[in-house]
Structure 1
Amino acid sequence: MPRTVLITGANRGLGLEFTRQLLARGDAVIATCRQPAQATALQALGAAHPGQLRVLALDVASEAARAQFTAALEHALAGTALDLLINNAGVLHSGERFGHVTQAALEESLRVNAIGPFLLTQALAEHLRDGATVANLTSQLGSIARVSRFGTPSYCAGKAAQNMLGAQLAQALSPRGIVVLQLHPGWVQTDMGGAQAPLSVQESVAGLLAVIATATPAQSGRFLDWQGQELPW
C-alpha cells in the first residue's frame, strides 16, 4: 500500500535519492529543504510526479522554522498520518584540526545533527501513525567504540548525540509500536562523502529502504548500517 513519507534535507544526495525511490514506489512524499525555490532537482521530481510530492521549507536547526513547518504540515497532510519519517538533514565541517576546532562548528553540528531531528520528531509525534517508522540517518563516525583517530570531532559528537536521542525516542514511542532506527548509510558518493566513496546513492538508499521495510519493534532503538548489520555504540 502507498505510504505517506516525510524526508528532511531532500534537495540533494541521500535525501533526493530517498525521494526519487519512494516516488517510484508510489508513495506520497513530503520533502523538505531550507530553500525549496533553489532545489531544482527536487522541483523536477515534483513535476514528474504531479500530486504525489509536496516540497516544504524547513531548517531543522531553527526552533521558529520547526514550529512554522509543523503548522504547515497539518494542512499538507489533510487528515492523513505519516507512515515514515526520515531525518536525513545533516551538516559536516570537514578538515578540522586539533587546536583549531571552533565552538561554532560544535554547536552547529549538535543543532543540525542531533537536537533538530529529536525536537522535530517530538513535534511531529501526533502526526505519526501508530506502528510508523522513524529513520534517523546517522553515521558510524558517531560510534565511540570505533574511534581510532582524531577527525571531524564536531560531526562525530553530533552523530553520537543523535544516536543517544534516537534511542531515547525509541523508548518514548514504543507504547505506540513506532520503530525508531539509527541508520548508517555507508560511505556514499555525495557532496559530503566525496567522489572516492565506494557506494552510490542508489545502492545505499535501496539498502536502507530494505532495512526500514523489514524492521521490527524488537529492533527499535538499534544502530544499524545500510545492510542491516548492527554497529557498536
Structure 2
Amino acid sequence: MERRHSLVTGANRGLGLALVQQLLQRGDHVIATCRHPGKANALNQLVGEHPGRLHVLPLDVTDTRSHRELARELALVSDGGPLHLLINNAGVLRGGERFGSVDEKDLDASFQTNARGPLLLTQTLAARIGDGGCVANISSELGSIALRDEFRTPSYAIGKAAQNMATVLLASALRSRRIKVLALHPGWVRTDMGGEQAALTPAQSASGLLQVISQRGLDDSGGFFDWQNQPLPW
C-alpha cells in the first residue's frame, strides 16, 4: 500500500500540533513545519515516538525562499512520493484592534501570513501534490463577509476573507488534477489564539476537520465548511 504523506504548517502548538498527532495516529507519514524546529519541543518528542514517520522542517510561510527550500527537502523526506494532504494551518491574529487605530503593519502581517502565504506555498508545492490529493486552508468564520455585523479583529478578518478567495481560485486551478481545495473553520478552539474560554479542545477540532476533509469530495472543492461539516456563507 502506498505510504500516505501529509504536511501541516504552523504545527508546533495548538491546532497544528493536534492535527499532526491525529494524522500520525491514523498511520500517515507527516511533515510538520514551523519557523523554529529547534524550539518545537512537543513536535521533537513526537519524532522519537514515531521513528521514520514524522519529519519536522523549517518554514516561514511569509517567505517564498523558505517555500522553495521546503519543496526541495520534501522530495527527500517523502522518498520521492507524492504529497496527499497539505493543511495550511499557520496563521496570525492581532487582538484588541479598534476603529481609528488599525495599524498598517498588522494588516500587512495578516495578509502575508493568512492569505498570501497559503496561496504561494500551495503554488510552490503543487507539483509535489498527487493527483486526487487535497489542500485544506484553515480559515475562520471571521473571514465570512455575510456573517460580519460588527467591527471585530479587522486585520484577521480581512486576511481570512482574502484566504477564502485564494481557496476558490486554487480549486479552479487544481480541479483538472482532481485535487480538492477546502476552506475550513475550526470552531472556537482553546489555543493561544482562541484563548482559555474557547469551547473546543484542539483535539476535538482536529478530529472534526479531518473527518470533513475525508467526507467532502471534488464536487465540494472551493467550498467553505466548519469543523462539523456544515457549509458557511462567504
Give the secondary-structure state (helix, strand or coil) at the position aligned to 1:73: helix
Give the secondary-structure state (helix, strand or coil) at the position aligned to 1:41: helix
* Corresponding residue number in structure 2 for 1:208: 209
Describe the superposition over 1:86-144 as per-residue Cα deviations: whole angstroms up to 9, x where unpaired: 00000000111111111110001000000000000011010001000110000000000
* Corresponding residue number in structure 1 for 2:22: 21
1:105 paired to 2:106: yes
Is the contact made by 2:180 and 2:222 (CA closer than 8 Å) also made in structure 1?
A: yes
Q: Distance in 2 between matches of 1:194 and 1:216?
A: 32
Q: Distance in 1 between matches of 2:84 and 2:203?
A: 22
Q: Distance in 2 between matches of 1:169 and 1:128?
A: 13
Deviates more, 1:26-35 or 1:65-74: 65-74
Corresponding residue pairs, total: 233
Describe the superposition over 1:56-94 as per-residue Cα deviations: whole angstroms up to 9, x where unpaired: 000001122112222222222221000100000000001
Is the contact made by 2:164 and 2:183 (CA closer than 8 Å) also made in structure 1?
A: yes
* Corresponding residue number in structure 1 for 2:57: 56
* Corresponding residue number in structure 2 for 1:150: 151
**1:1-233 correspondence to structure 2 within 5 Å:** 2-233=3-234
Q: State, as a whole percentage, how many aligned pairs show the same letter.
A: 55
Describe the superposition over 1:141-199 as per-residue Cα deviations: whole angstroms up to 9, x where unpaired: 00000111111100000000000001000000000000100000000101100010111
Q: Distance in 1 between matches of 2:74 and 2:81?
A: 11
Q: Distance in 2 between matches of 1:118 and 1:203?
A: 27
TM-score by length of 2: 0.98
Is the contact made by 2:64 and 2:121 (CA closer than 8 Å) also made in structure 1?
A: no
Give the secondary-structure state (helix, strand or coil) at the position aligned to 1:183: strand
Q: State the AA in 2 paired with 1:51.
A: G
Moved over 3 A (4+): none
Q: Distance in 2 between matches of 1:78 and 1:46?
A: 17
Q: Distance in 2 between matches of 1:12 and 1:127?
A: 25
TM-score by length of 1: 0.98
Give the secondary-structure state (helix, strand or coil) at the position aligned to 1:211: helix
Q: Which sections of structure 2, spanning at least 5 residues, go unmatched? A: none
Give the secondary-structure state (helix, strand or coil) at the position aligned to 1:56: strand
Give the secondary-structure state (helix, strand or coil) at the position aligned to 1:224: strand
Q: Distance in 2 between matches of 1:200 and 1:119?
A: 30
Q: State the AA in 2 paired with 1:222.
A: G
Give the secondary-structure state (helix, strand or coil) at the position aligned to 1:146: coil
Q: Distance in 2 between matches of 1:78 and 1:62?
A: 25
The CA RMSD measured in Å over matched residues stands at 0.8
Q: Which sections of structure 1, spanning at least 5 residues, go unmatched? A: none
Give the secondary-structure state (helix, strand or coil) at the position aligned to 1:191: coil
